């Protein structure tokens, strides 16, 4: 006999559809949220684009990982682009546009077709979608399903986005001339330390660009959802979280998601979470790290999207070798703009003696490894949180999006490292590596360890992320 709708509601758990932005960082953290919600007994449908799904099947253990959750279900949707589209960051607007124009119809069909429910599964009771995909909110409103947004960038950058219209109104934006050290005055909470160069990179260019229009509307877009789920913790970004609350009252700071999940899995004596990698992880770096002295290695990685010119690549390489530090460097395929054919002998020698170069790392494991003492990073938000949790001090070389803001906070507010910002010069690289790994290492390690301790406390019973996750789950149950 089939169960009536009323019986289903009393017997079966709520059913959440989770839809991450199809990029490595958001996919990684949002899948961690999906698993946290699975652990709490909710039914989850994870919706991925075909493209992301194919790569996850190839390079991560997601399939076997989630097979242990009877309430978990995976669903895919095309992103509407041809197979050979690069889906790179400079053309990501095309991915977003295509999702909006072509896939939103499929998204709606999926939710209304009855395909996602059965005798043992309620229809979707709540949607959690990335806040960058505003059309999901239109669809949710149209069909009457409550929606929450997940934001996987830093809250400090989200707040900068919210304040962009007032920067324009106060004529701080657009700025002409190249004095990038001019202070920015109209972002509440950041008056003391934010400069033009700490604003997202696009602020230096044409604000009428359609890409930029999306960021200008963040302050009106985000409050449309029932709540915002934020991958951060109150001890790190609390004051800025309070600023966001003036726009969006219902916030859930439940991060750092990767560490929150790890702890919850440990308490269930479950195996570690899936890697969620879109590239093949080169595990050979772990035995290499094992053979290095404690905290002697600088880990170097610029995430999944950034690309560098040949000149920047050579400056970095010289800086790393000249610093005398040991280093583990991730050079993603196609991340250097042109081929480097001739490698000077001093670089090959220094690299052979002290370096290890791979194409993609098991990053969380690397940062947790006792051999790592510093991280030269692009300040992507996931990278930053992963480093914070492990107490690894950073040198920041930001590219775009939230990275300029994040690196300012790392260097100036949280004192967790050095902000290299707009320079990529071998002398500066060498100097900063020496400073981080030798001259000022005690000072940076002390503040990094203190922050790591706070990060770990926030998801212990009674901690802010612990309580907020509980509240999120209760709110989902009440929907």
What is the smallest separation between the CB atom of 406 and ligand UDP, expressed in angstroms?
9
Nearer Cβ to ligand UDP (173/401): 401
- Choose, by CB under 6 A, the member of 19, 162, 215, 381 that binds ligand UDP: 381
Nearer Cβ to ligand UDP (253/377): 377
What is the smallest separation between the CB atom of 116 and ligand UDP, expressed in angstroms?
28
Residue 283: φ, ψ to 5°: -80, -5
* Residue 305 touches ligand UDP, criterion: CB under 6 A: yes
Q: Where does this chain touch ligand UDP (CB under 6 A) — which range of 180-188, 202-210, 242-250, 296-304? A: 296-304
Asked if 199 and 405 touch (Cβ cutoff 8 Å), the reply is yes
- Choose, by CB under 6 A, the member of 154, 253, 277, 292 that binds ligand UDP: 277
By the 10 Å C-beta count (0-12 exposed, 13-18 middle, 19+ buried), 236 is classed as buried
What is the smallest separation between the CB atom of 359 and ligand UDP, expressed in angstroms?
8
Q: Where does this chain touch ligand UDP (CB under 6 A) — which range of 213-221, 297-305, 429-437, 468-476? A: 297-305
* Residue 200 touches ligand UDP, criterion: CB under 6 A: no
Nearer Cβ to ligand UDP (94/438): 94
What is the smallest separation between the CB atom of 416 and ligand UDP, expressed in angstroms?
15
* Residue 155 touches ligand UDP, criterion: CB under 6 A: no
What is the smallest separation between the CB atom of 305 and ligand UDP, expressed in angstroms?
4
**Helix (H) or strand (E) run with residue 182 in it:** none
Q: Where does this chain touch ligand UDP (CB under 6 A) — which range of 142-150, 292-300, 356-364, 451-459? A: 356-364
Tokens of 182: 């001019």
Nearer Cβ to ligand UDP (110/361): 361
Tokens of 468: 């907020």
Listed in sequence order, the residues at least 6 apart from 148 whose beta carbon sits closer than 8 Å to its beta carbon are: 126, 127, 128, 129, 225, 226, 227, 228, 229, 252
What is the smallest separation between the CB atom of 101 and ligand UDP, expressed in angstroms?
24
Question: What number of chain residues touch ligand UDP (CB under 6 A)?
Answer: 19
User: Cα separation of 250 and 229, whole Å?
Assistant: 9
* Residue 410 touches ligand UDP, criterion: CB under 6 A: no
Nearer Cβ to ligand UDP (168/286): 286
Nearer Cβ to ligand UDP (251/257): 257
Nearer Cβ to ligand UDP (14/417): 417
- Choose, by CB under 6 A, the member of 216, 328, 383, 433 that binds ligand UDP: 383
How many other C-beta atoms are found inside a 10 Å radius of the C-beta of residue 471? 14
Tokens of 22: 């199809």
The conformation of residue 121, written as its DSSP 8-state character, comes to B
* Residue 417 touches ligand UDP, criterion: CB under 6 A: no
**Helix (H) or strand (E) run with residue 6 in it:** helix 5-11
- Choose, by CB under 6 A, the member of 330, 395, 448, 472 that binds ligand UDP: 330
Nearer Cβ to ligand UDP (23/314): 23
Residue 460: φ, ψ to 5°: -75, 160
CA-to-CA dists, residue 189 to 42, 206, 212, 325, 409, angstroms: 37, 26, 23, 37, 12
* Residue 299 touches ligand UDP, criterion: CB under 6 A: no
Q: Where does this chain touch ligand UDP (CB under 6 A) — which range of 42-50, 100-108, 381-389, 460-468? A: 381-389
* Residue 404 touches ligand UDP, criterion: CB under 6 A: no
* Residue 360 touches ligand UDP, criterion: CB under 6 A: yes
- Choose, by CB under 6 A, the member of 8, 12, 20, 24 that binds ligand UDP: 24
User: Cα separation of 313 and 310, whole Å?
Assistant: 5
Count the residues in the chain: 479
Q: Where does this chain touch ligand UDP (CB under 6 A) — which range of 321-329, 377-385, 404-412, 461-469? A: 377-385
Three-class SS of residue 290?
helix
* Residue 363 touches ligand UDP, criterion: CB under 6 A: yes
* Of 12, 28, 24, residue with least CA distance to 65: 28
- Choose, by CB under 6 A, the member of 20, 71, 227, 303 that binds ligand UDP: 303
Tokens of 25: 């960082």
CA-to-CA dists, residue 312 to 216, 298, 309, 411, 423, angstroms: 31, 18, 5, 22, 9
Listed in sequence order, the residues at least 6 apart from 426 whose beta carbon sits closer than 8 Å to its beta carbon are: 314, 315, 316, 318, 319, 322
| Sheet-wide strand order for 72-77 | 72-77, 43-49, 15-19, 126-130, 147-151, 228-230, 251-253
* Residue 405 touches ligand UDP, criterion: CB under 6 A: no
Q: Across the strands, what pairs with 129?
A: 19, 149
Binding interface with ligand UDP (CB under 6 A) = 23-25, 28, 277, 301, 303-305, 330, 360-361, 363-364, 380-383, 386
């Amino acid at each position: 006999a089939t169960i009536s709708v009323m019986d289903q509601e009393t017997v079966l758990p709520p059913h959440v559809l989770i839809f991450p932005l199809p990029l490595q960082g958001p996919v990684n953290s949002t899948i961690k949220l999906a698993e946290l919600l699975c652990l709490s007994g909710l039914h989850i449908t994870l919706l991925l684009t075909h493209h992301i799904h194919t790569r996850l099947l190839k390079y991560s253990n997601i399939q076997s990982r989630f097979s242990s959750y009877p309430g978990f279900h995976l669903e895919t949707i095309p992103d509407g682009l041809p197979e050979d589209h690069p889906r790179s960051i400079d053309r990501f607007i095309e991915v977003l546009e295509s999702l909006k124009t072509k896939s939103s119809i499929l998204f709606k069909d999926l939710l209304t077709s009855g395909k996602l429910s059965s005798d043992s599964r309620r229809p979707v009771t709540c949607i959690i979608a990335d806040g960058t995909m505003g059309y999901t909110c239109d669809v949710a409103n149209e069909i009457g399903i409550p929606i929450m947004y997940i934001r996987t960038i830093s809250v400090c950058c989200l707040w900068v986005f919210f304040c962009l219209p007032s920067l324009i109104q106060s004529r701080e934006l657009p700025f002409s001339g190249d004095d990038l050290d001019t202070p920015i005055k109209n972002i509440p909470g950041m008056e003391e330390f934010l400069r033009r160069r700490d604003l997202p990179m696009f602020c230096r260019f044409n604000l009428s660009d359609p890409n930029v229009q999306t960021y200008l509307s963040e302050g009106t877009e985000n409050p449309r959802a029932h709540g915002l789920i934020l991958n951060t913790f109150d001890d790190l970004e609390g004051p800025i979280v309070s600023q966001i609350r003036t726009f969006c009252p219902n916030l859930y700071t439940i991060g750092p998601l990767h560490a929150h999940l790890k702890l919850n899995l440990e308490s269930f004596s479950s195996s570690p979470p899936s890697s969620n990698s879109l590239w093949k992880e080169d595990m050979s770096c772990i035995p290499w790290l094992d053979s290095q002295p404690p905290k002697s290695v600088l880990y170097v990685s610029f995430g999944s999207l950034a690309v560098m010119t040949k000149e920047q690549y050579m400056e970095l390489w010289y800086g790393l070798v000249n610093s005398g530090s040991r280093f583990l460097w991730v050079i993603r395929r196609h991340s250097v703009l042109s081929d480097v054919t001739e490698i000077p002998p001093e670089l090959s020698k220094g690299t052979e003696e002290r370096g290890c170069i791979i194409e993609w790392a098991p990053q969380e494991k690397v940062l947790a490894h006792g051999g790592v003492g510093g991280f030269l990073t692009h300040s992507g938000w996931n990278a930053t949180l992963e480093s914070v949790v492990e107490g690894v001090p950073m040198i920041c070389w930001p590219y775009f999006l939230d990275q300029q803001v994040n690196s300012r906070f790392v260097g100036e507010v949280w004192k967790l490292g050095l902000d290299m910002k707009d320079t990529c010069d071998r002398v500066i690289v060498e100097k900063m590596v020496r400073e981080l790994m030798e001259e000022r290492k005690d000072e940076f390690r002390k503040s990094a360890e203190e922050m790591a301790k706070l990060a770990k406390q926030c998801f212990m019973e009674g901690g802010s992320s612990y309580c907020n996750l509980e509240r999120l789950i209760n709110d989902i149950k009440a929907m």
